[in-house]
Chains A and B, each alone.
Chain A
Amino acid sequence: MEKQRLTEYAVQVEKEEFKKRQRKAKFKQLLTISSPILVLMLWELLSRTALIDPRFFPPPTKILATLYQMGLSGEIFTHIEISLLRIFAGFLLGVIPAIIVGLLMGMYSPIRHFFSPLVMAFMPIPTLAMLPIILIIFGIGEFSKMVTIAISVFFPVVINTAAGVINIDNIYIDVAKNYGANAKDFFFKIALPGSLPVMLEGIQMGQAIALLTIVAAEMIGANSGIGYVIWMNYKAFLLPQMYVGLVLISFFGYLFSLIIRGLQSKLIPWK
C-alpha cells in the first residue's frame, strides 16, 4: 500500500518535470520566431514614421504588396525560374565531379597528393574573379553561368568529401580488407557512406555559395534572373522591387538549407 503510493508520487513528480520541459521547449520555439517578427515590426514602424528614410527602406508591407503585384504580372516568375535552373544545373555540375574526385582523393593517397596542390591553388580565387575567363571560354550564354556556379560549389564539396573519407576510422578499413572487399565494394560500402556526414556539410556550404555566386553573376553579366532584378531595379531606383529580389534570395536560401537538412536525416539514419 505504502509502496503503491510512493510509486504514484514518483510518477507525479516526473509528470510535472515533463510538463516543465515542454513549456521550456515551447518558449524556445517562440523565441525563434519572435526575432524576425520583431525586426520586421520595428522596420515597419520606423519606416512608416519616417524615422528611417522610406525611400531607401520601404516598409515590409509595401515590399510584400510589390511582390504580389510582380507576381500578378507574372514577370517575376520567369526570373525565378531562370535563376533556379542555373542554380540547379550548376549545382549538379559542380557537386557530382566534386564527390567523385573527393572520394578518389580520400581513398588513394597518390591521387590526393596529385590533386591537392591544384585544389589549394584554385580555391582561394573568388569564382567571380574568374568570370571573365569563363566568359571567354564558354561565351555569354546560360552555360557559362552554370559553370560559374559549378566551380564555386566544387571546392567546398571536394574538400569535405576527401576529409570525410580520410577521417573514416581505420578499423572499418581493416574490416573491409579482412572480409575481402574489392575496390568497387570499398567505394560504395565504406568510402561513400562513411564520408557522407562530412560530405553533406560540404554540400550545405556549397549550396549557400551557389546562391551567393548566382546573384552576383546575374548582377554583373545577365539580363534575367533574381540578381538582375535586384540590380536593374536599384539602377532604376525602384527600391521596393529591389527588396523583392532580396526577399526571394533569402527565401530560397532558407528553403535549400531545409531541404539539405532533411536529406541529411534521410541519408544518414545511422548517426
Chain B
Amino acid sequence: MTSQAKIELNQLTKVFFKRNESVEAIKNISLTIDEGEFVCLLGPSGCGKTTLLRILAGLETPSTGNFQINQENADNPLQSMVFQERGVIPWMTVKDNVAFGLRMRHLPTRVIKERTAYYLKKVGLENFANLYPKELSGGMKQRVSIARAFANDPEILLMDEPFAALDEQNKFILQEELLNIWQETKKTVLFITHSIDEAMLLSDRILLMSAQPGQIIKEKKINLPRPRTMEDVRSNEEMAKEFVDIWQHLQTEVQGSRTQ
C-alpha cells in the first residue's frame, strides 16, 4: 500500500484553564493518519476525544503543538464534522441542511442542487427533502448530518459519536450506510466512538486512549477484508480476541483513573 500522510498531529496538548483550576484534556499527541484511512478513536469518558476532534475541526485551538491536514484539492474545504444528533439545524429543511456547507461556500446553484439531491438519495431521504428536522426520527436526523458532511466534499471527515444516541437496530443500518458511502468516496475519516464493536466494524486502525490526560497508548490495525458486516466481525475469532484485549485496556484505564 502506497500510503500518504493526510493528517499529521505534532505533540498536541490542550489545557483548559479556569480561574485557578486547570484541566489537561490531551497531552502530547502525535500521530499520522494516511490518505483514505478510516481511523477510530476509542477511550474512556472524559479522556479528551471530543477535544482532539474539535481542535482538528477548528473549533478549539491547541495550547501547544500543531497539526496539519494535507490539502489535495484547493477547492475543497479541509474538514467537515458530523455532529451528534442535535447538530441538524431545526429551522432549515432537510434539503437546506444538506446543502448548508455548499451554500456557505457560495457554489453555483446548479452544483448545490445536484450534489444535495445526490446525497439525499444516497441516505434515502429524497422523499423527506422538504420536511423540518422535528418531523424526523433520530436515525433520519443522523442521515441528514452525514449527507451534509459528505456533500461538502471535504478533505477529511470528523465524526464525534454520531450514532451514540441511536438504538441498536438503527445503529447497524447507519453504520452500513456510512461504510457504503465511505467506500465510494474513500475519504479519510477520524471517528470517535465508545463502542468496541463499532470501531472494529468501521476502522482500518483503532487508536486507544488513556484516561485523562488523554494520550494515545496503543493502536490496532483491523485487517478484516471489506466490505464488512457486523456478522463478519462477530464471527471472526481473531476479532473476538482483539475485543477482549481492547476491553481490558479500557477497564484498566478506567480503574486507574478512579484510584487516582
Contacts and interface: CB of A to CB of B under 8 A. Distances in A.
Interface in B43-89: 57-59, 77, 79-81, 83-84, 86-87, 89
B132 interface: yes
A268 B134 CA distance: 12
B152 interface: yes
A174 B77 CA distance: 16
Contact of B104 (A182, A196, A269, A270): A182
B133 A178 contact: no
B157 to A, nearest CB: 11
Contacts of B227: none
A185 interface: yes
Given A175-B87, A194-B91, A180 B101 contact: yes
Given A171-B83, A180-B101, A270 B58 contact: no
Nearest to A172: B89
A190 B77 CA distance: 20
Interface in A233-271: 268-271
A232 interface: no
Contacts of A271: 134
Given A169-B86, A171-B83, A270-B132, A179 B100 contact: yes
A177 interface: yes
B57 A178 contact: yes
A270 B133 contact: yes
A271 B59 CA distance: 28
B90 interface: yes
Nearest to A179: B101
- Which of A171, A180, A193 has the most chain B CB atoms inside 10 A of its CB? A180
B81 A178 contact: yes
B105 interface: yes
B174 to A, nearest CB: 19
Contacts of B90: 270
B89 A177 contact: no
A203 B193 CA distance: 44
Contacts of B103: 185, 189
Interface residues on B, range: 20 to 34
Contacts of B91: 193-194, 196, 268, 270
Nearest to A192: B91
A179 B86 contact: no
B132 A171 contact: no
A163 B87 CA distance: 21
- Which of B89, B90, B101, B133 has the most chain A CB atoms inside 10 A of its CB? B89
Nearest to A194: B91
A169 to B, nearest CB: 7
- Which of A169, A176, A177, A179 has the most chain B CB atoms inside 10 A of its CB? A179
Contacts of A92: none
A209 interface: no
Interface in A183-198: 185, 189-190, 193-194, 196
A174 B59 contact: yes
Contacts of A270: 90-92, 132-134
A178 B89 CA distance: 13
B86 A185 contact: no
A181 interface: yes
Interface in A175-232: 175-182, 185, 189-190, 193-194, 196
Contacts of B59: 174, 177-178
A171 B77 contact: no
Contacts of B84: 171
Contact of A179 (B80, B132, B133, B134): B80
Contacts of B83: 171, 174-175
A181 B104 CA distance: 5
Contacts of A169: 86
Nearest to B145: A175
Interface string B17-37: 000000000000000000000
Nearest to A270: B132
Top 3 nearest A-B pairs by Cβ distance?
A270-B132, A193-B91, A179-B101
18 contacts: A171-B83, A171-B86, A172-B87, A174-B57, A175-B83, A175-B87, A175-B89, A175-B100, A176-B104, A177-B59, A178-B57, A178-B58, A178-B80, A179-B152, A180-B77, A189-B92, A190-B89, A196-B91
